[in-house]
Every structure is written in structure tokens, then in C-alpha cells.
Amino acid sequence: MAKEEFPGWHGTTIIGVRKGGKVVIAGDGQVSLGQTVIKGTARKVRRLSPGGQDVIAGFAGSTADAFTLLERLEKKLEATPGQLARASVELAKDWRTDKYLQKLEAMLIVSDGTDLFVITGAGDVLEPEHDVTAIGSGGNYALAAGRAMMDGDLDAEQVARKAMAIAADICVYTNGNLTVETIG
């Protein structure tokens, strides 16, 4: 009998939008295993408050890995209160060089209301050029839709919600069940 391979988890679209002095991070709720939707109401966007400083974060990838990274980010923020850029760079350095952390498969979008970053396991801390960033299976769809709406009259949350709706219409691993956090 041939051993069947694990079909792999799919899902998640996360978008971050900075506009009008506010930052919104929104994420869908779908988790899929192969071609089957396992859960439609997962919460992939969180509010952290290390040291009383609010930060919002969204994640794509393995949930356990993302929570490990979020815990590490909180510790970095507690050590450097109010310095999201520094904490993000320190997390990315650890993620890139630590043998345990190197195996983690996730990406993060984080914001303190001023800065907006994507943090990757390759050691990257990326700030979007056009105040919109997105990750996950439908990330490119949400990013394109969000960028197209940035010059209009919509506020940050409206841009995020509409971009996520477009991504959900295109990407089979993304649904319209959103978690939205706003800061700023």
C-alpha cells in the first residue's frame, strides 16, 4: 500500500492598510486541508499590548508557528517599548539565525498605528511603499485591489474590507469571514 502524502494546509489572506492616520489589519477566517474547508471562522488578526503599547498583528502560515513568533515579538516589544521597528528587526534576526526558529513557517504583518511591517523568516522586515501590504494565499489579489483603491475617498478600513472581498471572490482559500483590527 502506497503512503499518501499530507495534502497540506492552505488558506489565509491578511491585508494591512495605512491611510488617514489609521492602520487596519484584516484577515479572513478560512483554513483548508487540501480541497476541504476545515474551519471558516479562524481569527488570524490579534491585538497585542506589551507594556501597555498597542500593536496589531496578522499572520499567515502555521498557527502554532505564528503564535510562537507573536510571543517572541511581545517579548521584544517589552524590552524596547514603543519601538516596533527595532523589535521587528530583532525578531527577524532571531528568526533567521536561531536553529529552532528557522523551521517556523509563517509570515506576519504588524503595526503600532504609525509603522506597518511585513516580517518574514528570511530575515526581512519590509515596509510597504504604497501603504498597503498583504500576505497569504490571496495576498496578491488583496494587495492589487487595495492599491487600486488607495487614491479614492475610502478610509483604511473600507479599503481593507473591499480588497478582502475581492480576494475572497478570486482565491478559493480565502473567505469573507473577516477579523478586522484598527489602530491609530
Annotation-wise, does 122 bind a ligand? no
Q: Is 168 annotated as a binding residue?
A: yes
* Residues identified as active-site: 12
How buried is residue 71: exposed, middle or buried, by Cβ count under 10 Å (0-12/13-18/19+)? exposed
Ligand-binding annotation for 97, yes or no, is: no
- Burial of 155 (C-beta count, 10 Å sphere; 0-12/13-18/19+): middle
Residue positions in the annotated binding site? 168, 171, 174
Residue positions in the annotated binding site for Na(+)? 168, 171, 174
